[in-house]
């Protein structure tokens, strides 16, 4: 499974929404993610992709859409 597919699966598990058709949807503005969801997202990404994003370094504006999450995850894997 590639990074994009993994991220979309994690987001679907967390939000109950298939976001594959709306990769620029702002997850916070739309109410799909909140602070608790963010922590769960980061833990799932760490578990499934082996990347670690310290909550203290998490910038919401850099992780607010599926596209940004995918790009950040891919960058952290390299």
Please tell me the predicted confidence (pLDDT) of residue 62. 94
Nearest-angstrom CA–CA distance, 18 and 8: 8
Q: With a threshold of 0.85, does the pTM exceed it?
A: yes
Please tell me the predicted confidence (pLDDT) of residue 77. 87
Please tell me the predicted confidence (pLDDT) of residue 65. 97
| Helix, strand, coil % in the chain, rounded to nearest 5 | 60, 0, 40
Contact 78, 52 (CB under 8 A): no
Average per-residue pLDDT in the chain?
93
Minimal CA–CA distance to 67: which of 29, 35, 32, 19? 19
* pLDDT, tens only, 1-59: 799 999 999 999 999 999 999 999 999 999 999 999 999 999 999 999 999 888 777 89
Average pLDDT of span 51-78 = 91
Q: Is 78 exposed, middle or buried (0-12, 13-18, 19+ CB in 10 A)?
A: exposed
The full set of domains in the chain, from first to last, is 3-19+26-77 (1.10.1200.10)
């Amino acid at each position: 499974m590639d990074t994009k597919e993994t991220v979309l699966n994690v987001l679907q598990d967390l939000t109950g929404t298939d976001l594959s058709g709306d990769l620029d949807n702002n997850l916070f503005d739309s109410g799909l993610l909140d602070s608790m969801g963010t922590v769960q997202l980061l833990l799932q990404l760490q578990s499934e992709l082996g990347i670690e994003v310290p909550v203290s370094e998490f910038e919401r504006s850099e992780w607010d859409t599926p596209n940004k999450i995918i790009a950040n995850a891919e960058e952290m894997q390299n």
